[in-house]
Amino acid sequence: MDEHELYMQRHLRAVQLKELAILKEIHKVCIKHQIEYWLDGGTILGALRHGGFIPWDDDIDIAMRKEDVPRFVEAATKDLPSWLYVQTPETDVSRLPMIKIRDNNSFLVEPNDDFFQSYPKGVYVDIFPFEPYPSVSRQFCKRVLKGYCTANGIMNAKHYYSLRSFAEFFWFGGKRLCTRVAWALACAIRPHHEYYGNSIETNGYGIMHKQVDIFPVSTIQFEGETFMAPARPHDYTTNIYGDYMKLPPENQRVGHAVFYAESL
């Protein structure tokens, strides 16, 4: 194990506790303003399998209804303590249309961070917007949304003038347009009372959940604290990971960040 890996291991728990403190402040705002959210992704998996963080995980993911996001942003901007910052696509450059609640007194670097942009880079909690999905097959959902997110990511990446970038512009631009139109048509002609999922720009895995697995939201223990959770956390997490109680191979037990410092 090299010095970088040793450093990351030594500081991981402090980063996790910082993120837990952020989540507790988000929870207070949501309770005060009666805004529902739920633990998502690796965070709900960690709650079920480990009673808290996945031991090697370095982030927290939650979700809320897309229509509740503007109300949450307004409330959080007013009510969160001064050591936290509400980062939105409207306030800062962001790769995805999602909300991050960042700590102002820490530092975290991920592989896709852009150091030409001045947005804050503190430890954060991700908030993913969820919306009703059309009643389509899971295969259609995965194919269309994965295709859209792949093309959209490439189109939004930095490009330099070259024959390859010129070709990518037309190929992936066309793919993004076709998948977007296919999804819009499905949304227009199919009912929306059965499924729920991330907004199209944030669903690179093409996952759709049954609404009854999410609502009405319940509660769950995470690191000894009570937070909101999907109505059926087992079914919700199984839908994402399959047999989530099975640990991944050791070489896959890694976090998202390449560097962090829990305090500055």
> pLDDT tens across 112-131, in order?
787 777 778 899 999 999 99
Q: What angle do CA 145, 112, 102 make, to 5 degrees?
A: 95
Of 67, 62, 65, give the one whose Cα is nearest residue 101.
62
Q: Domain 3-129+215-261, what architecture? A: 2-Layer Sandwich (3.30)
Of 174, 127, 181, give the one whose Cα is nearest residue 154.
174
Determine the Cα–Cα distance for residues 255 and 59; give it in Å rounded to an integer. Answer: 8
* Torsion 5-50-112-204 (CA) sign: positive
Give the phi and the psi of residue 79 in degrees, each rounded to 5. -105, -20
β-pairing, 60-65 vs 124-133, is parallel
CA distances from 85 to 34, 93, 102, 120, 228 (A): 21, 14, 5, 8, 22
Q: What is the pLDDT of residue 81?
A: 97
Q: What is the pLDDT of residue 169?
A: 79
**pLDDT tens string for the chain (264 positions)?**
789 999 999 999 999 999 999 999 999 999 999 999 999 999 999 999 999 999 999 999 999 999 999 999 999 999 999 999 999 988 877 667 789 999 999 999 988 787 777 778 899 999 999 999 999 999 999 999 999 999 888 887 776 667 777 677 788 889 999 999 999 999 999 999 999 999 999 999 999 999 999 999 999 999 999 999 999 999 999 999 999 999 999 999 999 999 999 987
Q: Kindly report the three-state secondary structure assignment for every residue of 3-28.
A: HHHHHHHHHHHHHHHHHHHHHHHHHH
Answer yes or no: are the C-beta atoms of 15 and 262 closer than 8 Å.
yes
CB half-sphere exposure, 133, CA atoms < 13 A: 25
Q: What is the pLDDT of residue 123?
A: 96
User: So where are the chain's domains?
Assistant: 3-129+215-261, 138-189
Residue spans of alpha helices (H) in the chain: 3-32, 41-49, 69-79, 138-156, 163-189, 211-214, 233-241
Tokens coding 29? 């705002």
Determine the Cα–Cα distance for residues 23 and 194; give it in Å rounded to an integer. Answer: 29
